Structure 1
Amino acid sequence: MSHTHPPSRGTAHRGRPTIHVAARLALLGQTVQAALHGRDLPALCLRLPDEGVPWARSLVRPDDLVLLLDDVDGPGDLRRARERVATCPARCIVLTSAPTGMVWVALMSSGAEAVLSAQISLDDLVETIEHVLAGDEVVDPQRRASMVQEWEDITSQFEEMAGRLSRLSPRELDVLERVSHGESAAEIADSLGVALTTVRSHIKAGRNKLGVSSQLAAAAILRRRPDIEGVAPVATGGKA
């Protein structure tokens, strides 16, 4: 833990800040709520707002703490989790089963006080909560700044890739998706009922639009498509 600072989002004016446990699964939220009660940390269960729906500001105040439980299982979940963190009127700690890496960086860059593994011990969770409530920085400011910059770099890279993917025709996208799944040109031609030369033509055109010189590089981009679309949605354009 690093140096103590004033609370990041306001000082409590109504007694002890409220801890809210927000989870998609009510039973999970209730389990965490009970565990916190057992450590003299009273908490309330809070319904997660739907995508695009704001938090209930009449319930969640700036000096409160929201414990957001989210597996972040896929690009759509990441987009929603980032939105919830960014729009949360209170301080926010995220507990997730997602592996460390892009998801954690994305959530920290959205304003989370901390991102923790869902496997964290109760002792460590309580310690983190108490530090956040006290106004402590639980993530080194330089590390936080580094993660924000890393997310900006990822976003820029994915937006560029999304732009390239949007140039693909539906047929080129289909063919390259099949290539990324390990199908050979001959297998694709047989499956689509077209000539082998046609498939190779689609592969070459797709490579050129993606700005890569090999099938392997094109396949690598297509395998990242779900992550790319979670950050920068792709709208495929041209005709087949």
Structure 2
Amino acid sequence: MPSPLQTAPDTVPRTAGMHITILLVEDHDMVAEAIWLALDRTDDLEVVGRSLSVKDALADAARLRPAVVVLDRRLPDGDGIAAIPTLKAAAPGTRVLVLTGEATPAVAADVAGAGGSGLILKVGNLGELQAGVRLVAAGEVAYSKGLLSGALDRLTGRTADLGATLTPRERETLGLLGDGLGTAEISQRLGVALNTARNHVQRVLGKLGARSQLEAVAVARREGLLR
């Protein structure tokens, strides 16, 4: 079965007229400079600020309200993954893409469980990072190749009868998520507008108590809503 999450390809088509603002949270100057240049050299991506720590990131995200935060996992004052819920609370609507030197499926599951939208390895190419930013800004998720295997089994499930609250259309949407479809593909499959498909996905996540598509699929499997 296809993965329930998208693996960031090297390129993702740009959406006409889309302008994505980015807050870069990275304490190493050389790494930050390379990432900033790579992201800022395309006309649809704009780095609007850089933070050196979790504390600075929270203040900067609340002030700048970027579309995407590219967040280093290891920062001088804490773990970037652990800071994701607080970061999203400080800047509602902002999506978080974690950047790290090394990771495992367990770490990918931690990112999804914390409400992150993706995890990209620093050892990958900069095109993958650009593609990941575009994916999460569009409401999708992006993980470097090889990080998803085993991640579903590591996410916690729920015990309530969650399926009873889903409408037939929401169950259909959940099934398509389980088949590995992204929001744009769900829109086409259901024959609805992209924003309508996004609303369906968000309602499914809300009813399942999930903070990401990956967690929603994991919960649904555990509760017997997906086979």
Q: TM-score, normalised by structure 1?
A: 0.45
Structure whose alpha-carbon radius of gyration is higher: 1
Larger helix proportion of the pair: 1
Larger strand proportion of the pair: 2
